[in-house]
Amino acid sequence: MAKKKQAEKVYIEKEPILRGVVETLETNYMPYAMSVILSRAIPEIDGLKPAHRKLLYTMYKMNLLNGDLVKSANIVGSTMRLNPHGDAAIYETMVRLSRGNEALPLPFVESKGNFGKVYSRDMAYAAARYTEAKLAPICKEIFGDIDKETVHFVPNYDNSTTEPTLLPVSFPTILTTPNQGIAVGMASNICSFNLGEVCDTVIALMENPDHPIEQTMPGPDFSTGGQLLVHQSQIKEVYETGRGSIRVRAKYTVEPKGNMITVTEIPYTTTVEAIIDKVIELYKAGKLRELGDIKDMSDKTGMRIAIETKRGSDPEKLMTKLFKMTPLEDSFGCNFNVLIGGTPMVLGVRQLIDEWVAFRSECIRNRSHYIKSRAQERLHLLKGLKKILLDIDKAIEIVRGTERDEEVVPNLMIGFGIDEEQAEYVANIKLRHLNKEYILKQLEEIEALEKEIAEMDSILNSRTKVKKLIAADLKRVKKQYGFDRKTELVYDDQTVEIDEEDHIEDYPVTYFLSKEGYFKKIQPNSLRMNSAQKYKDGDSLRRAVESTNKAELIFFTSMQNAYKTKGYEFEDTKASLLGDYLPAKLEMEQGETVVAMAVTADYSGDMLFFFENGKAAKVPLVSYKTVTNRKRLINAYSDKAPLAATVQITEDKDLVLISSNQKALVVNSALIPAKSTKSTQGVTAMTQKGKHKLDKVQTVEELGLTNLSYYRTKNIPAVGHLLRQQDLPDNQVTLFEE
């Protein structure tokens, strides 16, 4: 009963805390999350985030579409009226949109001064007071007809002015402008496509909804160029789902002498410094022996990385290796997350184009309705003026005969049968214009207005005409602003996939594993100079194997795991050093230690596991071969009994099993059947009685038995025979001792 009351008390104490957490999430965190999603990180159908839109609209209102360049600091200051997030954030936005930064294939801002480079991490842009900017000519297509109520306007943050919710872009900027944003619980990453290809694709889809997009838009086009590795399945996935990954690699040239490579274009997702840092890291690790030098030669003329190869090295093979191991080949993860009507949606290219066409159609309808309304208003006034034309003298007489000013309009309405708006228009005509010639010229506009109204009505009532107007705009944009692809297309049949290992140097080495898990890889010439191995106090050699640099290494641990790696993953070292500590190097679990090592080139042979209960398991090494590049295999051997020893063999041989009661048994490994299951317990090889256990396993040569037949058995299990005095081990060291 007391326990129940105590539990109720704890629950009652926690309930207000839980309620407070929920209330805080609802009132504080959720509004913040929605603000980040809707007002900051995710682009809308016009291809712009709010920060981009506020900046560009401010520049438009500053008359920077037709005017001269102005200081960037002035633009930033003016934008603060719409975007109160600080001058640094606004200026960084402008830098990204500028021609000088080269982040966009179709820049929105013309720039003068240092705006940094998208392909450089260290090339910082100058302060806003030193640079100048204006809108690029392409912005005519972004702000066209914005003053004709094509888009909605809303008050800014302090209600001092208004700003557009979207811009009436006349081409799909959502596909021609790269965009990246991280919101709360979601993100967006949109790659850029070529302007001309996008325009052709939209036109084709409006004519035929089943048009295959890949025919007119074969792949993304990045401002930094490079080569797009076109895999049709990957491109199709991105086009259909809006998600996926595409690979881009650098473009390079090899000088005629053959020892200098010049990289002139790199993937959009990386920087010059990131590439050079990775190359230097690999060189220090001994994985780029062909490399002579690497330098950043970028200047005002453009980006360049100079890679010098060593004499006799093949530049093409080195570049293939660099593509595999460095950001010179990188992937762009697509996530076409866009706000549609205030709702985040991940859309494929076809869906994005459909949404943009719907948005652009609405802009054209809004524009048509605006033009029609203004034409109707003008026509209405001119029709009133037409009635005055029939008797101008009467109009003058009415005005002259009216005593009070406020009675002029009512008297004209009565005298000519016109409404108040028409009468107000007539009353405001200047005296010099009260002549027949002026009024007749004004009336000539009536017919044009009627045609214009009829045309607007036909547009408002016809989807086909709206699509024709969209297509006409796209054709004009392509003709005026289109440009050749910057990113070269390289198809599957034009690329040759070469394994990284093909370019790794192979040479003789000796692998050393200590009992405490320290590992060394030493070349023969280094061993000849100094063969005395250094170990920590209390540590000693577990196994030494002569092999090659490309050998496969399998390390078995105390937790029945097998960690696979390659010899070349370790640096060459010297006997005078401790070497690599494997539990840390291979990221093993806490308390996990190395108990055995297998070295193989082709997974031939077997691994023998001997347990303290006398059982032995033979597992073919090929059982540890995997198709995928897995580094860790679980259940690598049985955990039913403690491990006593391991032996790697390439062919059957005689082994000596020694128990804790000094009995020995010579067994040929052929007597132990091979099992494909790695965690097999195997068969009993040496029978153990009482508290005795299998203690060690050695080769016949290592132990040096004088009479093999005395200890040999033709069948297993067997008990073995006591070691004779002359066969007792005299502080012998075994390569397989555990």
By annotation, the residues acting in catalysis are: 130
Residue-by-residue DSSP string for 309-327: EPTT--HHHHHHHHHHHST
Burial 260-278 (b: 16+ CB within 10 A, else e): bbebebbbbbbbbebbbeb
CA atoms within 13 A on the CB side of 226: 29
Nearest-angstrom CA–CA distance, 128 and 132: 8
Max intra-chain CA distance, the chain: 150
Nearest-angstrom CA–CA distance, 726 and 738: 24
Peptide bond into 717 cis (omega under 30): yes
Task: Tell me which H or E stretch contains 87.
Answer: helix 87-97
Among 94, 203, 193, residue whose Cα is nearest residue 139:
94
Peptide bond into 164 cis (omega under 30): no
Bridge partner residues of 171 (DSSP): none
- Phi-psi map region of 42: left, alpha, beta (phi>0 left; psi -120 to 50 alpha): beta
Q: How many CB atoms neighbour CB 676 within 10 A?
A: 9
Bridge partner residues of 247 (DSSP): 229, 331
Nearest-angstrom CA–CA distance, 310 and 658: 55
- Mapped onto helix, strand or coil, the DSSP state of residue 484 is coil
Q: How many CB atoms neighbour CB 550 within 10 A?
A: 15
Structure tokens at 168: 């009436």
Among 586, 163, 199, residue whose Cα is nearest residue 356:
199
